[in-house]
Chains A and B, each alone.
Chain A
């Protein structure tokens, strides 16, 4: 069996290694597919659905779909952009995301995606759910208001920290992150550092990076991926 396959992304032929996801192959070729839950060093769960693409005409999360020979992948279309915008807007409407008073602001991947996708207002009514802030841990805050249930921390705790310190409980709109209590979360855990939003934060670190020097202050999210491909211009 060959080690490499050829597929087409938005009409452009790329080569990818067998076993890679479409998202990984795209990134390696300088094509940024917006995503929130996928992270290179973690197992992808396809939780957030932001990385939705069309593969041979079918909608699929590109982070969980493996490459195969001859696939026709559509990433940039008005329809897919609209789907991504809608998903991100739903995340904003579903939780309590008060950017002006969030210490993750400027370093937040959800916020940066909204900037990149050009979201200036949310079409869905804000839900303003009643959620808790768990400040019990000596070094870590868990703010359920900002949690988007991407599962990165659960995945990292299980497979990178080998701890299972965090799990999901409940279903549907009652699903939320929970501390299992089996083992203690440590401030150095991967589970603490992978949160894309301000739901898991280290205490006593707030606002240390001044405005203008934060992760997404000057460059949109995905710019570093696109810099690998001179043909793609960052919006």
Chain B
């Protein structure tokens, strides 16, 4: 048996809801076809936390809401030949970016002090240094690093992700039919 080196894929969810990853799992039995032709590197799918090899494709779900997101995204750019932003949060900031028109201090105050269901008699805000610092604004991935492809959808359907992945892996142009092009 030959052991040809398979292209590697890395995936991550930054400021996202993991919905895009669920959609990837939703390719169902085609997952078996996928693992025949690729190996997963850093990804929540195999729970590898750091890059082990250079990857052919990096799939990024979610935009950047904190400094750790930015750091991870930069790491993905460094370690992936093709970087793809997956879904509306990665592409536009998405739902987390709804906070962008409200000053960060007001958001934190609402969440930890004055919200109707908050119990916080000392009024402290989370300050543990292990916690990533929030950015003033949630930004889409392409405002942080160069992104090669954008896949639309909230989440992109399993069919969309499958078509994009198979096109990229076979060096073909990504051409989605009209019905798979959705911002929602």
Which residue numbers of A lie inside 8 Å of B, CB to CB? 92, 96-102, 105-106, 111, 114-115, 120-122, 125-126, 128-131, 217-220, 235
Contact across chains for A125 and B143 when beta carbons are under 8 A apart: yes
Besides A98-B92, A100-B94, A128-B101, 17 more A-B contacts (Cβ < 8 Å) are A98-B95, A98-B97, A100-B183, A106-B184, A111-B183, A114-B183, A115-B183, A120-B91, A120-B150, A121-B85, A121-B150, A125-B143, A126-B93, A126-B140, A128-B97, A130-B101, A218-B178
Nearest Cβ on chain A to B158's Cβ, whole angstroms: 15
Chain A residues lying within 8 Å of B182, measured Cβ to Cβ, are 115
Q: Which of B43-97 contact A (CB under 8 A)?
A: 85, 88, 91-95, 97
User: Is B147 positioned at the interface, with any CB of A under 8 Å from its CB?
Assistant: yes
Secondary structure type dominating chain B contacts: mixed
Q: How far is the CB of A50 from chain B (nearest CB, A)?
A: 18
Q: Which A-chain residue is minimally distant from B155 (CB atoms)?
A: A100
**Chain A interface secondary structure, helix, strand, loop or mixed?**
loop
Is the CB–CB distance between B184 and A126 below 8 Å? no
**Which residue from chain B places its CB closest to the CB of A102 in the assembled complex?**
B184
Q: Which of B88, B139, B147 contacts A100 (CB 8 A)?
A: B88
Count of B interface residues, CB-CB < 8 Å: 29
Which residues 95-112 in B have Cβ within 8 Å of A in the complex? 95, 97-98, 100-102
Q: Are B143 and A105 in contact (CB under 8 A)?
A: no
Task: Name A106's closest neighbour in chain B (CB-CB).
Answer: B184
Tell me which residues across on chain B come within 8 A of A101, comparing CB atoms: 95, 98
The 29 sampled A-B contact pairs (Cβ below 8 Å) are A92-B92, A96-B98, A98-B88, A99-B88, A99-B154, A99-B184, A100-B88, A100-B95, A100-B184, A101-B98, A102-B184, A105-B183, A106-B184, A114-B183, A115-B178, A115-B183, A120-B152, A121-B85, A121-B91, A125-B143, A126-B97, A126-B100, A126-B139, A126-B140, A128-B93, A128-B97, A129-B101, A130-B101, A131-B101
